[in-house]
Amino acid sequence: MLIADAPKSLSYNVSIAGYNHLDELPFYQDIPTSFDKFATLGFDIKYGNKRAAMGAVDYQKGIGWQFISYNQFVKDRTYAQVVNNLDFGVPLPITLSSLWLRTSAGYSSGERLDPQANFFFGGFRNNYVDHRTEKRYRKFYTFPGIEINSTGGTNYARGMLEWNLPPWRFSHVGRGWLHWERIRMALFGSALVTNLDDETYRRSPANVGAQLDFRFMLLWHYRMTFSIGYASAFEENAQRTDEWMFSLKIL
């Protein structure tokens, strides 16, 4: 039986930033910038209505929506980007298991060969030591199995089907200073299409992957998560590529 794990939520965020003496785009490593200084104005709004059962470690049912507007101002030029993310989840007959469809689409103004005007995708994007969410593969700009930021486009559509398996819990594994709490596993498959309006520059990779998250308590007070991920990506007329991910989330 599902219960309300969180009330319906609606939030927004506005950000303003300025950059100077840049060689690479601030959000995409190894991607050279067209200009060494520019200003940005960002806005996003989120809505969520998700539910979970007692004992679950993740939401099992509901909907999540996010709209993002990101604008770059360079001299007399403006680069405008918009992203729309929509997630929908349903519980499965297996206890504490769920299936989620996660979708995203985006559009950017500007010329296709201008790095400033593109979205870039690739990789799990977890750091070896991290403080952000361990489920980074859910972000619209990731794509496990291909090199980070190796696929770009001024517009895109992305879909992911994710199966969250029931968690395995432990009550007597370890000692007080190092105690294992649980393991959870997720399986996923994604498809991405960039430059839908231009067959010359279009890319359409797909992937399948899995991630294991080990949650443990260190020194009685510090919850940490060690994650192992693997994904294989494939694309027509291209060689299959693989990626392993290892990450320790602190707190």
Has residue 53 been placed in a domain? yes
221-228 own/partner pairs: CB under 8 Å, 24+ apart:
222/250, 222/251, 223/181, 223/251, 224/248, 224/249, 224/250, 224/251, 225/134, 225/249, 227/126, 227/134
Whether residue 2 lies inside any domain: the answer is: no
Q: Evaluate whether 187 touches 163 at the Cβ level (below 8 Å).
A: yes
pLDDT for the residue numbered 84? 98
Cα–Cα distance between 249 and 213 in angstroms, integer? 10
Residue ranges making up the domain that contains 232: 9-250
Q: What is the pLDDT of residue 172?
A: 66
In a domain, 114, yes or no: yes
The predicted pLDDT at position 178 comes to 76
Model pLDDT, residue 165 = 95
Residue 1 belongs to a domain: no
Q: Measured between alpha carbons, how far is 143 from 145 in angstroms, rounded to an integer?
A: 6
| Residue 3 domain-assigned (yes or no) | no
Which amino acid is residue 224, in one-letter code?
M
Could you give the CA distance from residue 198 to residue 115 in angstroms, rounded to a whole number? Answer: 16
Helix (H) or strand (E) holding 128: none
For residue 120, being part of any structural domain is answered with yes
Phi-psi region of 72 (alpha: psi -120 to 50; beta: other; left: phi over 0): beta
What domain count does the chain have?
Answer: 1
Which residue ranges of the chain lie beneath pLDDT 70?
Answer: 1-7, 172-177, 220
